């Protein structure tokens, strides 16, 4: 039987987690480590700083798992109860490790620390046969202890930087050697634009039942991802397992896939424009600068982005972008005619190879029956004065920030598709 | 016996949580809500998309709690198993609610949706006597169901924006009325700008030990908050408990406090400029549109914001903002001289009462010994051509996005302070 057949669990200890004062980033970080090691990991629990409740949970976990990783409750304050509760769970006693007390005094640069400073000294007490996990970034050490055969506990402080260093320097090797078989998980994520989660999911129904690699969909505002995960002995073997599935997906979805792993629509566009040695400029109305800032948040954007005009009033659309008052009066600022003129004029004035203009109604107010909240016009002007006009009507459940964000996504993805069909 | 004596638990369902792909921000948000309602909340659990394991956990929780709140697993894909697993936990069957199917078709603006689109249709099945929680922001509804006397389950999707809206619009009142005793927690948060967390914490050491109200500090990038929480029977009583502490803090920190609760620097500025009937325009370089978009993300910004010029190249600083080539060559784009000229010229050209210009080096490349990454100039031009120049050098550990975000914060807070000392 594999040493990890019953799996690893994570127990996060701290009343501040139950009060919602902090987000449990530790559990995520450890989960990621366990995935990479290919360990079975079926459950996570969070409890407060209460000795009886900690004991109850630990006893439950000891009956169903091989390995328990705890975070929190190792410090000097009275509500730090983890080590004591773990010992009590198995009717064990705690004994002082005198060298740890010397170490704490050294760490605090205070060799005269009163030996009866019981709150700090508490951190030196451990069950008899526990192995210590050094804490290079704080005073509270952790431990590795096997209270009953086939069940091991590892304890870490709740401070993320301390926990991570202790994991990397001491725990990782132990967990890998003792609990991991020689297999690990490797992932490769494909990223989609211009297609909804349910449309993707419906077309890959057969892939969702695969065992190795597995395929899992994730969705966020305007973004769909498929993660392909292989269980393999090494990177090379994983790539071989992932390859046929990835190739099938690339063939089936072709242009809907814009990139992989850390790619974003922005980074893909910047890369493509840099390769073509072309520049881009924007004229923004309803997105109010979000299109520009989504591009300039990325290092390297100055290679391709020259600038933009954010014209939030009709007056500035006239004075900065030369949209005639007649045109504004006749069609309104939110219209294909005005948006197209914005794109052509900003391209000219800011001297870009490409220009995107956007005008719409982000709400919550400002809508009318003819032009409701969620109506957005996008125009893309390219070399040779080629113009693409797009009209979007976002769902009425969308709020202002969603309409702005989705509009930016449509801008970026539309330009990506134009560049694809217009390769140099 | 109180209806919440055995407490509330949160169950987060999703393999992506166990794999460490995403952080569980839902559990934190719900915990915060439960704290405010003064509910007992002793445990949180996370499990993957596995029917048997979900059933096992739910049965355990039903034996020790009064209320279970689940997130995740309500969507259309095959790994969305929550409702089915909950029903199975209590040997109940699922029945379709036909009106929900009509609603989904309406939401997707697709009345011709095939009636055999079983993946979407799955979201319409619920136990017989479950009450539906409408999902105004997505297709998957949740439910409120009491499968056995004294134990109620509330289900929510995993998408945070959907979950929060459903909680606020439907679940909050139910939970408050059915599970909360006559005492609740009421919070009032004071928000700080221009001062660090440790400086705030040092000055309020005595307040941190109070029992009712409690005072807790929170810090985020460039933002410090103090939350004052009172346990009281009603809002009025809570305000009385909070008042003396709040007054002391307002006196001690005066101008460092820019607002309360949902106020942001942006919303406070928009409110103040609206009151003064004054407008604002921006000239952005290193923030690349972030200053503009941070303002325009807020409804009501069109009352005061006219527009901005994002000039990412020297050429556009010259052609759009009339910065002479001589000046750019002599001082460089990142200089007090150029930044001040940008502010004066953009105010003039875009006809604002106030103008903010910003020029700096956001990195990671582009820095030099004289002008390192993190160096940022800000100029604010006001009525009567009054100019304020600010020079900032952000810590070298700051990355590009942090430098951009902190720069925007300095812009907004500096203008706030100028408006305060220059009240109309």
- Orientation angle between helical segments A400-420 and A265-276, nearest 10 degrees: 30
Q: Could you tell me the two tokens for B391?
A: 């020079």
ipTM metric? 0.81
User: Min CA distance, B92 vs chain A (Å)?
Assistant: 25
* Interchain CB distance below 8 Å, B47 and A47: no
Q: What pLDDT does A208 receive? A: 85
| pTM metric for this prediction | 0.81
How distant, in Å, are the alpha carbons of A85, B173, B243 from that of B152? Answer: 31, 15, 37
What is the distance in angstroms between the Cα of B69 and the nearest Cα belonging to chain A?
A: 13
pLDDT tens readout for residues A267-307:
999 999 999 999 999 999 999 999 999 999 999 999 999 99
- State the pLDDT at residue B314: 96
Q: Are B255 and B283 in contact (CB under 8 A)?
A: no
Query: In this predicted structure, what is the pLDDT of residue B234?
Result: 87
Rounded Cα distance between B292 and A355, Å, is 19
pLDDT tens digit sequence for A343-396: 999 999 999 999 999 999 999 998 999 999 999 999 999 998 899 999 999 988
Is residue B297 within 8 angstroms of chain A, CB to CB? yes
Contacts of B295 in chain A (CB under 8 A): 288-289
Contact B222, B195 (CB under 8 A): no
A404 contacts in chain B (CB < 8 Å): 293, 296-297
According to the model, what pLDDT value does residue B423 have? 78
pLDDT band of A110, cuts 50, 70, 90: low
Compute the average pLDDT of residues B37-60: 95
| Ranges in chain A annotated CATH 3.30.70.2860 | 184-260
Higher pLDDT, B178 or A381: A381
The answer to whether the Cβ–Cβ distance between A28 and B23 falls below 8 Å is yes
Selection from B166, B207, B171 nearest residue B190 by Cα = B207
Placement of tokens 């694809």 in the chain: A420
A21 touches chain B (CB under 8 A): yes
CATH number belonging to the domain at A265-420, selected among 3.40.50.620, 3.90.950.20, 3.30.70.940, 3.40.50.300: 3.90.950.20
**What is chain B's mean pLDDT, rounded?**
92
Across the interface, of B119, B288, B292, the residue whose CB is closest to A201 is B119
What is the pLDDT at residue B220? 73
- Residue B11 has a pLDDT of 98
* Contact list, A46 vs chain B (CB under 8 Å): 27, 43-45
Residues of chain A in contact with residue B41, where contact means CB-CB under 8 angstroms, are: 18
Helices (H) and strands (E) in chain B, counts: 16, 17
Any A CB within 8 A of B221 CB: no
Residue bearing the bigger pLDDT, B396 or A311: A311
| CB within 8 Å: B320 and A50 | no
Q: What are the residues whose beta carbons fall under 8 Å from the beta carbon of B369, sequence distance 6 or more?
A: none
pLDDT of residue A75: 86
Average pLDDT over residues B201-212: 84
Shortest distance, CA B50 to any CA of chain A (angstroms): 9
Percent of chain A with pLDDT over 90: 74
Of A34, A289, A351, the CB nearest to B293: A289
CA-angle at A266, arms to A254 and A390, nearest 5°: 70
Q: What is the pLDDT at residue A382?
A: 96
Q: Flag if A201 and B79 touch (Cβ within 8 Å).
A: no
| Alpha-carbon separation of residue B110 from B104, B113, B114, B132, B157 (angstroms) | 9, 5, 9, 22, 22
Name the least confident of A117-121, A142-146, A172-176, B200-204. A117-121
CATH number of A8-179: 3.40.980.10
Question: Can you tell me the mean pLDDT for A92-104?
Answer: 93
Task: Find the mean pLDDT for residues B9-32.
Answer: 94
pLDDT band at A419 (very low <50, low <70, confident <90, very high): very high
Could you give the C-alpha distances from B166 to A49, B25, B132, B162, in angstroms and in order? Answer: 31, 16, 11, 6
Name the residue among B273, B320, B313 with its Cα closest to residue B295.
Answer: B273
Q: With contact defined as beta carbons under 8 Å apart, do A173 and A65 qualify? A: no
Mean pLDDT of chain A: 92
The pLDDT confidence band at residue B25, using thresholds 50, 70 and 90, is: very high
Topology (CATH level 3) of domain B184-260: Alpha-Beta Plaits (3.30.70)
Mean pLDDT of A172-190: 87
Model confidence over B367-395: pLDDT tens digits? 999 999 999 999 999 998 899 999 999 98
Query: Is the confidence at residue A124, as pLDDT, over 90?
Result: yes
A10 vs A62, A132, A176, B78, B168, CA distance in Å? Answer: 12, 19, 16, 26, 30
Q: Is A208 in CB contact (< 8 Å) with chain B?
A: yes
Cα separation, B321 vs B343, whole angstroms: 9
What pLDDT shows up at residue A1? 53
- When pLDDT is cut at 50, 70 and 90, the band that residue B266 belongs to is very high
Q: CATH 3.40.980.10: which residues of chain B?
A: 8-179
Average of per-residue pLDDT across B254-268: 95
Which residue spans of chain B are classified as CATH 3.90.950.20? 265-420
- Which residues does chain B have within 8 Å of residue A27's beta carbon, measured at their own beta carbons? 24, 46
- Per-residue pLDDT reduced to its tens digit, B58-117: 999 999 999 999 999 998 888 899 999 999 999 999 999 999 998 888 887 765 566 666
Q: What is the mean pLDDT of residues B198-207?
A: 82
CA distance B238 to chain A (A): 19
pLDDT number for residue B105: 84
pLDDT surpassing 80 at residue B182 = no
pLDDT tens-digit series, residues A237-269:
999 999 999 999 999 999 999 999 989 999 999
State how far the Cα of A140 lies from the Cα of A82, in Å rounded to an integer: 12
Give me the pLDDT at residue A115, please: 66
Task: State percent of chain B over pLDDT 90.
Answer: 74
The residue among A6, A8, A20, A57 with the most chain B CBs within 10 A of its CB, best to mutate, is A20
Residues of chain A positioned with their CB less than 8 A from the CB of B305: 288, 312
Are the Cβ atoms of B288 and A301 closer than 8 angstroms? Answer: yes
Report the pLDDT value the prediction gives residue B1, as an integer from 0 to 100: 53
């Amino acid at each position: 039987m594999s040493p990890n057949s019953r799996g690893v669990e994570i127990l996060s200890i701290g009343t501040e987690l139950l009060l919602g004062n902090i987000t449990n980033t530790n559990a995520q970080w450890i989960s990621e480590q366990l995935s990479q090691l290919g360990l079975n990991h079926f459950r996570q629990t969070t409890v407060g700083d209460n000795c009886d409740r900690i004991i109850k949970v630990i006893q439950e976990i000891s009956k169903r798992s091989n390995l328990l990783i705890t975070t929190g409750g190792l410090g000097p304050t009275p509500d730090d109860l983890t080590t004591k509760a773990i010992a009590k769970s198995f009717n064990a006693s705690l004994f002082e490790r005198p060298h740890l007390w010397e170490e704490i005094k050294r760490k605090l640069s205070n060799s005269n620390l009163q030996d009866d400073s019981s709150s700090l000294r508490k951190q030196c007490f451990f069950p008899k046969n526990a192995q210590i996990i050094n804490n290079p970034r704080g005073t509270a050490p952790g431990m590795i202890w096997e209270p009953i055969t086939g069940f091991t506990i590892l304890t870490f402080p709740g401070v993320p930087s301390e926990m991570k260093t202790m994991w990397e320097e001491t725990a990782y090797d132990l967990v890998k050697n003792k609990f991991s078989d020689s297999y690990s998980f490797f992932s490769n994520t494909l990223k989609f634009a211009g297609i909804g989660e349910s449309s993707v999911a419906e077309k890959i129904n057969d892939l969702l039942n695969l065992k190795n690699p597995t395929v899992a969909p994730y969705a966020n505002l305007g973004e769909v991802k498929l993660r392909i995960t292989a269980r393999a002995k090494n990177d090379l073997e994983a790539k071989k397992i992932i390859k046929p599935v990835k190739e099938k997906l690339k063939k089936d979805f072709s242009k809907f896939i814009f990139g992989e792993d850390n790619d974003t629509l922005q980074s893909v566009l910047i890369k493509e424009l840099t390769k073509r040695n072309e520049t881009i400029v924007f004229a923004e109305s309803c997105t109010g600068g979000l299109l520009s800032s989504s591009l300039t948040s990325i290092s390297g954007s100055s290679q391709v982005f020259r600038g933009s005009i954010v014209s939030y009033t009709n007056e500035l659309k006239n004075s900065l972008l030369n949209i005639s008052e007649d045109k504004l009066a006749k069609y309104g600022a939110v219209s294909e005619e005005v948006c197209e003129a914005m794109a052509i004029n900003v391209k000219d004035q800011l001297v870009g190879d490409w220009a995107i203009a956007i005008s719409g109604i982000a709400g919550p107010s400002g809508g009318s029956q003819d032009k409701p909240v969620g109506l957005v016009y996008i125009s893309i002007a390219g070399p040779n004065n080629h113009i693409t006009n797009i009209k979007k009507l976002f769902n009425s459940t969308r709020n202002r920030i969603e309409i702005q964000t989705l509009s930016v996504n449509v801008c970026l993805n539309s330009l990506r598709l134009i560049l694809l069909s217009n390769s140099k």
